[in-house]
Amino acid sequence: MLLFFYQGKKCRFCLGWLDELAQAYYRIRSKNAEILSISPDERWMSQKLKNEKKIEFPILKDEKDTEGGPQAPKVSEQYGVRILKPDLYPAIFIIDGRGIIRFRRVCTHPTKKPTVDELLCELEKLS
């Protein structure tokens, strides 16, 4: 699984990367991987974005586990990512079938993001 955290619709850089992932969706699927993206946007905003950009993978809202009580961390926090921090760019993880994180990149600058080809190479290592 390729897990993509991003700051939501307000982040132009994030949306560009979301577009790249959407365009590479079938190449990523060919490596037996699914894309799952998570943002702080409301569900209706994410659905609108999916429709506008014809994104085929899920975009979920980053929220707390309701069963975990009021102190439960958000999903992003469970992965050590703070997607609402103003100076933080997106983060991407590759998680294998056993739930082990095999690749992690928390971007600190737009030029530091992995390319789709790098991600495909990382996914190939899991085959």
Span 48-64, pLDDT tens digits = 999 999 999 999 998 87
CB 13 within 8 A of CB 89: yes
Mean pLDDT, the chain, whole residue set = 88
Q: Does domain 2-125 have CATH number 3.20.20.80?
A: no
- Give me the residue spans of the domains in the chain: 2-125
Give the tens place of pLDDT for each residue, 61-79: 988 766 666 666 688 888 8
What pLDDT sits at residue 94? 97
For the segment 75-103, what is each residue's pLDDT rounded down to a tens digit?
888 888 876 665 567 899 999 999 999 99
Q: Is the pLDDT of residue 31 over 80?
A: yes
pTM: 0.87
